[in-house]
Structure 1
Amino acid sequence: MKIEELKEGIRNISEPRRTGYGNIRHKLEDIIIIGLCTIICGGEDLADMEAFGKSRQEYLSKFLELPNGTPDSDTFRRVFEKLNPSELSSCLINWISCERTKRGTVAIDGKTICGSGNCKHKAYHVISAFVAENQLTLGELAVEEKTNEITAVPELLDLIDVKGDIVTADAMSCQKKIVEKIIKKKADYAIGLKQNQPALYKDTKDYFNEFCDDIPMKSTLDKGHGRIEKREYQ
């Protein structure tokens, strides 16, 4: 991943600070890149960003301007509070996508983040698009509940480039709008089918029953996530 490509993307992000007063001491790209590097290296909060920037200032100055040194934690807070999250997300997704050398499989799945819930809110649920061939997460969206995956998947597809890919998803994504969105993005798909689509499920089952003698079958038995799953493939 080239740092200059990331800088170019950051320049398309709206400047959240008041630029007419002449009191901006740190460049937006410096703040975002230091924050990103901090998180990649295991940092967790604004104080970590300041500490990381100061401890690595000599190295960071090789590709960042840092006209007034490293921003402090208050500067990181003010900027990240006002940044447009959609613009930042789009910038990072486009930057990561540059690393894709070939088309392949994009797996869309939702996971509940353990330990993220408390007495004030439920645990966070995140929809992600993962590229198996490159081991890259192309994009993520947070949703309030698992049932909101149906509306979130088309939004996630709008953010990423899947042209020429095979998009995979579980049976919850077996919806007309999701399939139409995948086709519109010029991708193929392999989506699970269960009885949440009763008519299609029945038609598919009847078709396989009619030709079952000519189609090989494979069964697997797996244990995980507190349950035993038996799967049959045709």
Structure 2
Amino acid sequence: MKAVSIMPLTQVFVSVSDPRSKRHTRHDLSELLTVAVCAVLSGVDDFVDIELWAKAKIDWLRGFMKLEHGIPSHDTIGRVFGLIEPDEFEAAFRRWVGMVVPVLAEDTVVAIDGKSSRRTASKGKTPASALHMVSAFAAGMGVVLGQRATAEKSNEITAIPELLSKLALEGCVVTIDAMGTQAKIARTIRERGAHYVLCVKDNHPKLLDSIRFAGVADPRGPLTPASTHETTNLGHGRTEIRRCVAYDATDRLYKGEEWKDVASFALIERVRTVGNKTSTERAYYLSSLPADAERIAKAVRSHWEVENRLHWCLDVQFNEDQSRVRSGYAANNLAVVRHIVMNLLRLNTTRKASIKSKRMLAATIDEFRAELLGVMT
């Protein structure tokens, strides 16, 4: 086999502190983590199968790693994953992303959203104790930029500013659902040099009413939209019309001065017709963007990629929702490995194939796996 050298992934792992006693450590931490990434890239979903896969591929792995003491047992792998400080591992992940995606394009939509891994709740505890991961997802690229774990979904409000403060977001548009619509979060986004598009729902009832009824019951009279945008989508036996109406009269917002650099608000209406049945949904948004209906509509539409291209993919392709890993920090750190693997698969453009198909190819073709990892022969 030709000698090979691996991409910056292992170099980044070197920066993660080894939580084990040096006297009793036989397996190098950066090598152990790299083995785990290679195995998950090849379709493996748990620690037992990481060991089995690595033993079968040990000759290939030794092409760019020493593995002086062979492959660690699944118990060792699981124990180490449970001990690694998650903040350090997440920081290493962000450094790696910064190396492979150094600059985001202007107007890139970065969707912030959370996802629970329901089977990670500790035995005897409520489902609310399951791992909840808040992720920053670059729509269009399909790449995870960073993540922050919380104990419960309700803690997203504190996790989101912590995550935002660590990301390079200048020129981007950050979208968040209603839970993250907080004045402090809007300020953090602007301080990072990005714009925000925030969904407003019943958790801000007076603000919502000021958007919903702007001008209707106002002595200053009805409002004239600054811009409108409409699209029609046909397919799968249905017709969907999306309308966005944007306004720049921010003086009519309830306590609008609390929202850093707010410049517009918008109504988005979705009218869906299937056969003889028509349904209408309306959603309301607050933004630091100018009252450009097309631009706001694009940001809102892009936000939902986080559900389809990240959360759905993690559950269906990586079986994340079925994972029972719950010892120490293991669930958190294994979730970060899945994000690394998803980024590797998405950043590879040499083959047009689904995530599932690419993992299958990585499992069977050494050369393709090396290509995904950035291994140079």
User: Considering the TM-score relative to the shorter chain, is it more than 0.5?
Assistant: yes
CA distance in 2, matches of 1:110, 1:57: 36
Aligned to 1:175: 182
Find 2:126's aligned residue among 112, 121, 125.
121
Aligned to 2:56: 55
Structure 2 stretches lacking a partner, 5+ long: 217-221, 230-242, 244-268, 274-278, 285-292, 294-377
> CA 1:17–1:110 in structure 2 vs 1: closer, same or farther (change >3 Å)?
closer
Per-residue CA deviation, residues 39-64 of structure 1 (Å, 9 max, x unaligned), is: 23332332212112111111111221
CA distance in 2, matches of 1:203, 1:98: 44
Q: Which moved more, 1:51-60 or 1:146-155?
A: 146-155
> CA 1:69–1:229 in structure 2 vs 1: closer, same or farther (change >3 Å)?
farther
> CA 1:56–1:231 in structure 2 vs 1: closer, same or farther (change >3 Å)?
same
Find 1:231's aligned residue among 282, 290, 296.
282
CA distance in 1, matches of 2:138, 2:206: 32
Structure 1 stretches lacking a partner, 5+ long: none
Counterpart of 2:282, as a letter, is R
Could you say which structure has the greater relative contact order, defined with CA pairs below 8 angstroms and 6 or more residues apart?
Answer: 2
Aligned to 1:7: 10
Partner SS state of residue 200, structure 2: coil
Contact 2:136/2:147, CA 8 A, preserved across alignment: yes
Please give the TM-score of this superposition, normalised by the length of structure 2: 0.53
CA distance in 2, matches of 1:216, 1:110: 31
The Cα RMSD (Å) is 2.9
Partner SS state of residue 141, structure 1: strand
Partner SS state of residue 186, structure 1: coil
Please give the TM-score of this superposition, normalised by the length of structure 1: 0.81
Partner SS state of residue 192, structure 1: strand
Contact 1:6/1:91, CA 8 A, preserved across alignment: no
Q: Percent identity?
A: 32
Aligned to 2:36: 35
Are 2:90 and 1:110 equivalent residues in the alignment? no
CA distance in 2, matches of 1:222, 1:37: 44
Aligned to 2:331: none
Matching of residues 37-116 of structure 1 within 5 Å: 37-100=38-101, 102-103=104-105, 104-113=108-117
Counterpart of 1:105, as a letter, is V
Contact 1:153/1:173, CA 8 A, preserved across alignment: yes
Q: Which moved more, 1:198-207 or 1:164-173?
A: 198-207
